[in-house]
Amino acid sequence: MEVEFPADEVTQVSPSHDQSALGGPGSQNLPAYLPPRAYAPPGTPPNQPKRRVWPWILGILALLLLLVVGMGIAAVYLGPKMIREAANDNSRVNANVNRNDRSNSNRNSNTLEKNSNDNSAVNESTSPPTDEQQVLAQLTEIEHEWTVANINADKKKLYRILADDYVGEDPDGRTHGKAEYLRTVKRDTSIQKWDFEDLKVELTGDRASLSGILRLQVNDKPAAFRFTDKFVWRDGRWQAVGSEVTPLKTEKGMPV
């Protein structure tokens, strides 16, 4: 069924926009169309040009090159010095080792020498020999050494042979001690040879006496003396403590 509305109630609908906004006849005065921009969140700075990376790479490479060159120069100048210092250190170490070796060797030598001296002291403190034949051989050897020392005026040798309390008697009966003996002894080149005869030993504990005849050849002339030398065992050896000498003569003044 059709409904008819009164004419005065009919609503007239008209366009809500100006025709010029839709590109109508008045659209010539509008700006040109611009496309919409991309969305940028708030606070985003405006577009800036991108930074180039290769200058940084070149700078790093240049720095590395400078470090390598510097190390090379340091090696050239400091290398020989370090080698010399190392060689000097080795030399000092070797010198110290050598000094230590020499020091150890000296200590060992001193120890050996001390032990040797101690052994000598022990040997010298041993008891005197008790075999008369052994004592006879020992005293005979001392008599030969004594004669040679008298001929050569060897005071060092005489000092060892004579005991500190030695007292001797000359052929003329005059006595003398060790100090006077050593002071007055003189070299005698007139004695050409000598020999001992009829040697006898008397042994009593640490004391012994040797008697016999001493024959000399003096300037192609013979001479003979009867002697008795007394010894004491002291400091591990025989030492002369006394002597008596008497010339042997015949009625014609020649030795027996």
Tens digits of residue pLDDT in 188-220: 989 888 999 999 999 999 999 999 999 999 988
Hey, which residues does 231 pair with through a beta bridge? 208, 240
High-pLDDT (> 70) share of the chain, % = 56
Cβ atoms within 10 Å, residue 44: 8
Are the beta carbons of 222 and 254 closer than 8 angstroms?
yes
Q: Is the pTM of this model over 0.85?
A: no
Per-residue pLDDT, 2: 47
Are the beta carbons of 229 and 150 closer than 8 angstroms?
no
Per-residue pLDDT, 256: 56
Assess whether pLDDT exceeds 90 at residue 244. Answer: yes
Distance set, CA 106 to CA 102, 110, 113, 228, 241 (Å): 6, 6, 10, 48, 40
**pLDDT tens for residues 114-153?**
544 544 443 445 899 999 999 999 999 999 999 999 999 9
Which residues have C-beta within 8 Å of that of residue 20, sequence separation ≥ 6? 26, 27, 29, 30
Are the beta carbons of 182 and 168 closer than 8 angstroms?
no
High-pLDDT (> 90) share of the chain, % = 41
Are the beta carbons of 117 and 152 closer than 8 angstroms?
no
Per-residue pLDDT, 161: 97
Assess whether pLDDT exceeds 50 at residue 21. Answer: no
